[in-house]
Structure 1
Amino acid sequence: MTDLTGRNAVVTGAASGIGAAIATQLAEAGAAVALVSRRQDRLDDLAGKLGPRTYGVALDVTSQASVDAGVEQIHARLGTVDLVVNAAGVMLAAPIEAGRLDDWTRMIDTNLTGVLRLVQAFTPDLIEAAGEGRTADLVNISSIGAHVVFPGYAVYGATKAALTQLSTSLPADLAPYDVRVTNIEPGLTDTELATHLDETGQELIASMNEQIGPLAASDIADLVTFAVSRRREFNLRQIFALPTRQA
C-alpha cells in the first residue's frame, strides 16, 4: 500500500527537518523525487544517499524568477509531476509591538506566497496526471499554530491559518479534476525551525520539548507517505498530528 513506484514528486524544504524526512520516505517507497531548497550542498548530500532517482534543485520559494528556473529544471528531469509537497516554512518570534516588518514579510513570503507559487507552477501537471488516470496529490504542511495562540507568534499563526484555509478551499477547484489536496498540521515537532528563534524562543521550545515530548520529523513523513499512497478515490484532506501530551 506504500509502493510509490512511478510517482514523480517535488518536496520543498527538503534540505532538513520535515521536508528531508518526507523526501526520504517518498524515495524509499519508489518515487522519483526533486529535492527543493535554497541549500544546494545539503540537497546534493541527501540525493547522494537516496539514489539516482532523486536530485537537488536550488530554489527560493520567495522568488518568482527562482521558482520559474527551478520548475524548468524539474520538468526537464521528471516530466509531469504528480505529487507536490509544500514543506518549506519559517517560524519567527515577531511580536506585534516590535513591528518587525522584515520578519513578517519573510514568513508571509515563505509560508503562504511561496506555497502559492508552487501551486501555480504545478497545478497543470497535477491536472494532466489525474486526467491520464494517475494519482495526483498536493500536500501542504501547515501547523497547529493555525488554531492555537502563542504570544509573539501572531503573524506566524496567521500565515499558517491562511495556508490551512487555502488547503480547505483548493478542493473546490481541483477535486473535479481528481486532484487530491491534503493539509497536515503538526504540533510540537523536533525540527530546525527552533533555530530561527532568538535565545528566549529557543529556551521556550526546549522547555516544551522536555515537558511534552515532541514528534519526530519522520512521524510527519509517515503521514504524508500514508496519505498519498491511498487509492486515488480516497482523499485524506485534513490531518492533525500532535504529541500525546500536547493539549
Structure 2
Amino acid sequence: MTTTVSTPLAGRVAVVTGASSGIGEATARRLAASGAKVAVLARRADRLANLVTEIEQAGGTALALSVDVTDAEALRAAAERIAAELGTVDLLFNNAGIMLPAPIEELPVHQWQQQIDVNVTGLMNAVGAFVPQLIRAAADKGVADLVNTSSIGAQNIFPNFAVYSGTKAYVTHFSRTLRTELGAKNVRVCALEPGIVGTELQDHVTDPGAQEWLEGSRKEITWLAPEDVAEAVHFLAAQPAHVNLQQITIMPTAQAS
C-alpha cells in the first residue's frame, strides 16, 4: 500500500521568526511537512540547528539564521540570503515576542521597553525586510501571506498586562489596516490571536501576581499546545488565493477570557 503525503504548500518559501521554541518551532515543522521551504530565525543558533536537522531528516528543506528581530540591518541581510538560497519569500510568520507583565506603579521601564522593542519594533523590522519579497512573490504566484502573532490580550483585559496587551493591540490593528494596502497586491494579512499557549513565554514572567494567575490557570484548564496554533497557521496559508482569514482568535475551550 502506497502512502500519499499531502503537500499543499509545495513550492512556497516561508520565514518563521521566533522559531527556536514554542509556536514558532512547531509552525516551522508544520509548514515544512506540508512542502514549504522554511527559513527559521531566532537568536539561539543551537536550537535552530537542531530544528533544521529534524526538518531535513523528515524530508523537508530548512535554513537556520541566528538573527535578533530588533536588529533591522541583520534582518535585511537575512532576507537577502534567504532569497538567494531558498527563493523569494511568499509566507512570513512574524512570531517573535516577549511577555513581561507587571504592575504599572512598579515602573519596570526596562521591561516596558523590551516588550515594545520586540513585539512592535521587531515586528516592523521583519515587515520592512520581507514585505518587498511578499509583494514580488504575490505578483508571480498570485498569493503571498503575512501572518502576525498577536494575542487574546489585544481584545480582553488582564491586570498587570497593560504594556504587553498594548503591544499586541498594536499588532492586531496594524495587521487589519495593512491588509487594506497589501490585499490589492494579493498579499493576505492575518492577525493571529492565541489564548494561553504552553510555551517558554510564561517562563520569562517574574511578577508574582501574574505567576500565580498563570499557575492557577494551568491547573484549572487545558492550555493550547504550540502545535494547535501551528495548525491554524497552516490552515490559513493553505486556503485558495482569493480567501483571506484576516483575524484568527484561537482559545483553549475552557478559557473564558
Report the TM-score range of the alignment, normalised by the length of the smaller protein: over 0.9
- Check conservation: 1:188, 1:209, Cα contact below 8 A: no
- Check conservation: 1:143, 1:186, Cα contact below 8 A: yes
TM-score normalized by the length of structure 1: 0.96
Other structure's SS at 1:60 match: coil
- Check conservation: 2:154, 2:166, Cα contact below 8 A: yes
* Residue 159 of structure 1 pairs with residue 164 of structure 2: no
* Pairs within 5 Å for 1:28-177: 28-51=33-56, 53-177=61-185
Which amino acid in the other structure matches residue 83 of structure 1? L
Report the equivalent of 2:3.
Answer: none
- Check conservation: 1:94, 1:104, Cα contact below 8 A: no
- Check conservation: 1:57, 1:73, Cα contact below 8 A: no
Unaligned runs of 5+ in 2: 1-5
Shift of 1:2: 5.7
- Check conservation: 2:145, 2:189, Cα contact below 8 A: yes
Distance of 2:253 and 2:87 partners within structure 1: 41
Other structure's SS at 2:146 match: strand
Shift of 1:226: 0.4
Distance of 1:133 and 1:50 partners within structure 2: 25
Distance of 2:229 and 2:147 partners within structure 1: 12
Structure 1 stretch displaced more, 45-54 or 80-89: 45-54
Structure 1 stretch displaced more, 110-119 or 41-50: 110-119
Q: Percent identity?
A: 46
TM-score normalized by the length of structure 2: 0.93
Other structure's SS at 1:61 match: coil
Distance of 1:65 and 1:83 partners within structure 2: 20
- Check conservation: 1:4, 1:30, Cα contact below 8 A: yes
Other structure's SS at 1:115 match: helix
Distance of 2:112 and 2:100 partners within structure 1: 8
Report the equivalent of 2:22.
Answer: 17
- Check conservation: 1:2, 1:229, Cα contact below 8 A: no
Structure 1 stretch displaced more, 195-204 or 80-89: 195-204
Q: RMSD value over aligned CA atoms? A: 1.3
- Check conservation: 2:197, 2:223, Cα contact below 8 A: yes
Distance of 1:122 and 1:69 partners within structure 2: 11
Shift of 1:169: 0.3
* Residue 244 of structure 1 pairs with residue 253 of structure 2: yes
- Check conservation: 2:72, 2:126, Cα contact below 8 A: no
Provide, for residues 14-73 of structure 1, a one-character-per-residue CA deviation record: whole Å limited to 9, x for no partner: 000000011010000010000000111100000000016102100101112322232232
Report the equivalent of 2:237.
Answer: 228
Distance of 2:211 and 2:55 partners within structure 1: 31
* Residue 211 of structure 1 pairs with residue 220 of structure 2: yes
Report the equivalent of 2:10.
Answer: 5
Which amino acid in the other structure matches residue 13 of structure 1? G
Shift of 1:199: 6.3
Other structure's SS at 1:190 match: coil
Shift of 1:148: 1.3
Which amino acid in the other structure matches residue 229 of structure 1? A
Provide, for residues 152-198 of structure 1, a one-character-per-residue CA deviation record: whole Å limited to 9, x for no partner: 11000000000000011011110110110011100011111000011
Distance of 1:196 and 1:183 partners within structure 2: 23
